[in-house]
Structure 1
Amino acid sequence: MRRRVLVLVAATTSLVLIAFLVPLALLLRTVAADRAVQAATSEVQTLSSLVATSDRAGLALTVQLLDATSAADVTVFLADGTVVGTAAARSPLVELAARGRSATGIVPGGREIVFAVRDPAGAAAVIRTFVPDAALTAGVTRAWLLLAALGVGLLAISLLVADRLARSLVRTTAELASVSHRLADGDLAARAATDGPAELAVVAGALNGLAGRIDGLLREEREAVADLAHRVRTPLTALRLDAEALAEPADAARIGDGVDGVQRAVTLAIEQARRRTPGPGAAAGCDAAAAVRERVAFWAVLAEDTDRPTYVDIAPGPLTVAVARADLEAAVDALLGNVFAHTPDGTAFAVHLARGADGAGAVLTVSDDGPGPAPGSDPLRRGTSGAGSTGLGLDIARRVGERSRGGLDLHPGPRGGLAVVLRMGAPDEGSR
């Protein structure tokens, strides 16, 4: 932007200077030539009366004196053919003046001026002066150099002023971009200064208003989620008491573990609602192999109760990913929960965890042999479900992948059904 402003000002100023200085330079050359011609004409006009009244010796002395002090060459052609002053040939203009007509003409090397006069005997005589090109352009080069210096100076001043203005515009624009990037990174306290140019000040005010609105909406959403999660704790406490009251210790332990898992999820929801959403890669890393292995063991009990063949292939750890362990466990629970919720009992499923393609991070694949998603449905669309659920399971996993600089993909399963691939990146060096 700064360069464009400078180019625009330079082009505009140059056009104005050319339109002003070129005609002025031509005018100066014309004025200099007219001044030289006028000076030569005035000098030789004084000889007109001398030619008519003075004798030949006095006339010769006067012409020689004038020729020596003048920038032009002065010659007098007498009727008898005598030439007084600077030697010169009888040009066509001299012949024309000998017939009684004064004239001026441009000849090679300068300008020739002739006057028709009469000598003391009344015979026709001609006074000729020749103004060379050097005299016609005397001082023109110096004047042109002064004009060029003036043009360069004006152009430099205009560029200096334009540069100051462009810097102000660029600085204000860069500040707006910086504030927008800070807002995108989660710094909702960032605000833009409104003391710049009027147009940019309007943009800054609108950006500040948008930031305030986003901050307010997020605050309301966090409080609503936190309140909702807090309310869930009461029935969870009741479930824990009921589980502890069961006669069978195995059942009590199993149900207690489930309640503990829900309790952890609720606590995590409250903590996330109370803090700002971290940017990509900001989460502390965890060992994906350990987390996935633990959650698969938890769901294996239910798989056994529902006669579901389970195939597990987990690469030896540690497989460090840029995901908090609680978030990864929630994503694994969401993917396995979808298998149990949307496929009939007895449907086999497989869990495969491998290192990332570049040797960093991890790739988790959960596939099943079920019927797959309904035709025309979009399982990755948040809040959309073809089976009467909330439609948030895949979205939870997708957000976990994106926060770790990975993602979530859906493919047909190797034996039909659906294969969900969760890609998770490795944490930054500074966060390991």
Structure 2
Amino acid sequence: MRRMTVRLAVLTCSAVASLVLVAVAVVLWRAAEDRTMALASAQTTAVAEAVRLGADTDQLLDSVARTDLGARGLLGVRGPDGWTVGTVHAAATPTAPASAPGETVVDAPGGTAVVRTVPTEGGLVTVEAFLPDGTVWSAVRSDYVLLGLVGVTAVALAALAAAIAVRPTLGKLAALQRAVASLGHGELGDIDSAVRITGPPELARIGAGLNRVSRRVRDLVTRERAMVADLSHRMRTPLTALRLDADSIGPGPLADRIREAVATLDADLADVIRSAEKQPDRVSAACDAVQVVRTRMRFWTALADHQGRPCRLDCEVAEAHVGVDAADVAAVVDALVTNVFQHTSPTTPLEVTVVKHAGWVNLVVEDGGVGIGDTSTALRRGVSGRGSTGLGLAIARETAASCGGSIRIDRGRLGGARIHLRLSELGVQHSPSDPRACRILPRYRERDRLTDH
């Protein structure tokens, strides 16, 4: 903003100074021109007076030499018979008629001549003062240089004044910028004292509006945390009853799987309560996506075996670290696989693939069901065409977006839905020209097709 303000001040001052200086330059030029013509007229008048008094050639030569123009060879006298005293530049025939003696200005080679005609007994005598081209410019050159220095000084002072005047405003804008940045980073803190703007009323109103928005955001976040914690606590009662029922089943694989699911749900609820009651963690999240997927798929593979559902995990990489928390990756796997279990028959095949390529970690979940009809609304939070909450795909989309990734829905080789999630590999910076990691997936699909046959 400082640069813009200084530039505006310089342009404005330059425009005003240009108008003023041009007007002053024109006045100075005309004044110098008038002075030059008046000087030439005065000197021709003095020599013409000597001619009128009947001075001889020597006296005229002395009169011409005593003038400034004559001393520089710019003044002369021409007689009616063609005789001359000094230096004559104009034509031999005077422009003024003999019956109208006086002064006239005529063009001469290389300049202008001021010619005064004097009638004598022997005829018409002309006294000429020659003004070379550039005489007026020589008279105003120093004045024009001074005007230029004045203009440059005025523009520089205007730029300095603008820079000094805008400094307090820049400080207030910097305070606004810091407040907005802290709000964007989730640093709610003491919002009431975050922005204190005094000065221009516009900035004061912006600061007041930002304070209102900040307080509103803080209130909404507080209410959201309270609501999440309250709902989590309310779920503890039916969860406790479910745990007691699971304990009463007795030993066996089914009972162990139910108890493991209850324990996992209890741990998730505890994490939700803890996260709702504390400030957001500013530490950068990271995890090994391969380890998380393998851990979660052990649970889902056991459940699929119990249903008789074909379930396959294709994960050849040893590790793949992404900039997402392990709980978020696990939530994505659970959400996508849960959608398959809920919306397809028990015999529908399920396949989960993890591929690492070109700085991307690709998580692909596909099934052999009927697919997703409207893919344009499937990723919207709370929108579902099959009676569910519609949060599964929204959770996956938000998790991918948190690390600069993406999600794509299409039809897979099994015939049903294919959810392709791209997560940025930890520590890898991507640009639009980087190759897309999804290009590696057709190789795996071809390999699987050959394996099936």
| Unmatched 5+ stretches in structure 1 | none
Deviations 1:288-342 (A, max 9, x none): 2332222222123322332212222222523323332222222222222111111
Alpha-carbon contact 1:268-1:326 (below 8 Å) kept? no
- Is the CA contact 1:313–1:353 (under 8 Å) kept in the aligned structure 2? yes
Tell me, yes or no, if the aligned pair for 1:186 and 1:278 is still in contact at 8 Å: no
Report what 1:25 is aligned to: 25
Partner of 1:312: 313
Going from structure 1 to structure 2, the CA distance change for 1:244 and 1:208 (only over 3 Å counts) comes to same
Structure 2: how far apart are the matches of 1:169 and 1:76? 73
Over the matched positions of the two proteins, sequence identity in percent amounts to 32
SS of the residue corresponding to residue 388 of structure 1 reads coil
Deviations 1:160-211 (A, max 9, x none): 3344456666666566455434433323348455346543443343333323
Aligned to 2:88: 88
Paired residues of 1:74 and 1:127 also in contact (CA < 8 A): no
**Corresponding residue of 2:449:** none
1:283-302 maps to which residues of 2 (within 5 A)?
Answer: 283=285, 285-302=286-303
Cα separation, 2, equivalents of 1:86 and 1:347: 123
3-state SS of 2:125 partner: strand
CA separation of 1:54 and 1:380: change in aligned 2, threshold 3 A? closer
CA shift for structure 1 position 49: 5.0
SS in 1 for 2:362: strand
Per the alignment, residue 68 of structure 2 pairs with 70
| Secondary structure at 2:69 match in 1 | coil
Match of 1:370 in 2: 369
1:14-413 matches, cutoff 5 A: 14-47=14-47, 50-53=50-53, 56=56, 60-61=58-59, 64-72=62-70, 73-77=74-78, 83=84, 85-88=85-88, 91-92=91-92, 94=94, 96=96, 98-106=98-106, 107-119=108-120, 122=121, 124-133=123-132, 136-164=136-164, 176-177=176-177, 179-189=179-189, 191-192=194-195, 194-195=197-198, 197-248=200-251, 250-277=253-280, 282-283=284-285, 285-354=286-355, 356-358=356-358, 360=359, 362-374=361-373, 378-413=377-412
Aligned length: 420
Specify whether residues 166 and 108 from structure 1 end up closer, same or farther in structure 2 by C-alpha distance, changes over 3 A only.
Answer: farther
In structure 1, the partner of 2:443 is none
Q: Which residue of 1 aligns with 2:447?
A: none
Q: CA deviation at 1:260?
A: 0.5
The alpha-carbon distance between structure 1 residues 196 and 187, as it changes in their structure 2 partners (threshold 3 A), is farther
How far, CA to CA, are the matches of 1:81 and 1:287 in structure 2?
A: 114
Name whichever of 171-180 and 151-160 sits farther off: 171-180
Q: Is the contact made by 1:97 and 1:115 (CA closer than 8 Å) also made in structure 2?
A: no
Cα deviation, residue 82, structure 1: 5.6
Q: What is the identity, as a one-letter code, of the residue corresponding to 1:242? A: D
Could you list the per-position Cα deviations for residues 20-68 of structure 1 after superposition, in whole angstroms to 9, with x for gaps in the alignment?
32343233233223212222323443455544445537xx436514533
CA separation of 1:79/1:339 partners in 2, compared to 1, >3 Å: closer, same or farther?
Answer: closer
SS across alignment from 2:13:
helix
**Partner residue in 1 for 2:451:** none
1:266 is displaced (CA, Å) by 0.7
CA 101–261 in structure 1, closer or farther in 2 if over 3 Å, else same: same
Confirm or deny: 8 A CA contact 2:75 2:88 kept in the other structure.
Answer: no
Distance 2:317 2:136 in 1: 98
Match of 1:421 in 2: 420
For the Cα contact (< 8 Å) 2:89–2:109, is it kept in 1? Answer: no
Counterpart AA for 1:233: R
- What is the Cα deviation at residue 405 of structure 1? 3.0
Q: Extract unaligned runs of 5+ from structure 2.
A: 429-453
Match of 2:437 in 1: none
Contact 1:308 1:347 in 2 (8 A): yes
Q: State the SS of the aligned residue for 1:239.
A: helix
State how far apart, in whole Å, the 2-side matches of 1:95 and 1:224 are.
108
Mapped partners of 1:376, 1:226: distance in 2: 33
Cα distance change, pair 271–398 in 1 and its aligned pair in 2 (3 A): farther
SS at match of 2:384: coil
Q: Distance in 2 between matches of 1:80 and 1:361?
A: 108
CA displacement, residues 260-295 of structure 1 (integer Å, 9 cap, x when unaligned): 01101111212332345568x921x33323322222
Whole-Å separation in 1 of the counterparts to 2:388 and 2:45: 116
Residue type at the aligned position of 1:414 = R
Q: Is the 1:104–1:111 Cα contact (8 Å) retained in structure 2? A: no
Checking the alignment, whether the CA contact within 8 Å between 2:77 and 2:88 is kept in structure 1 is no
After TM superposition, the score normalised by the length of structure 1 is: 0.83
SS in 1 for 2:249: coil
Contact 2:47 2:63 in 1 (8 A): no
Q: More relative contact order in 1 or in 2 (CA 8 Å, sep 6+)?
A: 1
Cα offsets for 1:197-227 (capped at 9, x unmatched):
5434433433333232222211211111111
